[in-house]
Amino acid sequence: MTQNRFETVTEDTIAILIDAFYGRVRRHPTLGPVFEAAIADNEWPEHLATMQRFWSSVMLSSGRYSGNPVAVHRAVEGIERSLFAEWLALFTLTASELFEAGPASEFITKAQRIASSLQLALFHRLGDPPEGLARKSAA
């Protein structure tokens, strides 16, 4: 039996995406331990609610989220640049399974931008070359 995918983004479909995605995150061999160290078991319901408000603001322009994602992520012990690719792959998989191509693509594009912005804020140091480029030596 094939599950029908959502054609539109609503508060309810965002909640389904968030629940499915973070269920996978918690079971993920690399992401799971980082999230578990940062979010206590009793804090998960509030984290999921916050993520629902965040994605509601991103996708529906609802204004339901107010916060500072950069500051929150700076406080996460064990966060590394490589984790963003794994997070994005898992998010892409989940959005693609739950939504038709149009809304899935919109989620994925916005997630890519968010991941890039967070990586820049967390890991870029002034004077360092962009990721993947070597610093030119003085001649």
What's the pLDDT tens digit per position in 46-63? Answer: 999 999 999 999 999 999
Give the pLDDT score at 11.
Answer: 98
Say which residue, 138 or 35, is predicted with more confidence. Answer: 35
CATH topology classification for 11-123: Globin-like (1.10.490)
User: Is 13:6 a contact under the CB 8 Å cutoff?
Assistant: yes
1-15, 38-52, 116-130 — most confident range: 38-52
Give the pLDDT score at 123.
Answer: 86
Give the pLDDT score at 60.
Answer: 98
pLDDT at 138 over 80: no
7-11, 69-73, 123-127, 130-134 — most confident range: 7-11
Give the pLDDT score at 132.
Answer: 52
Q: How far apart are CA 118 and CA 64, in angstroms?
A: 20
Number of other CB atoms surrounding residue 49 within 10 Å:
13
All structural domains of the chain with their residue ranges: 11-123
- As separate numbers, helices (DSSP H) first and strands (DSSP E) second, the chain gives 6, 0
Contacts of range 23-31, beta carbons closer than 8 Å, 24 or more positions apart? 24/90, 24/93, 24/94, 25/87, 25/90, 28/86, 28/90, 30/83, 30/86, 31/83, 31/86, 31/87, 31/90
Mean pLDDT of 66-76: 90
Instruction: Please compute, for residue 31, the number of CA atoms within 13 A of its CA located in the half-sphere on the CB side.
Output: 18
Per-residue pLDDT tens over the stretch 73-126: 988 988 999 999 999 999 999 999 999 999 999 999 999 999 999 999 898 766
pLDDT at 131 over 70: no
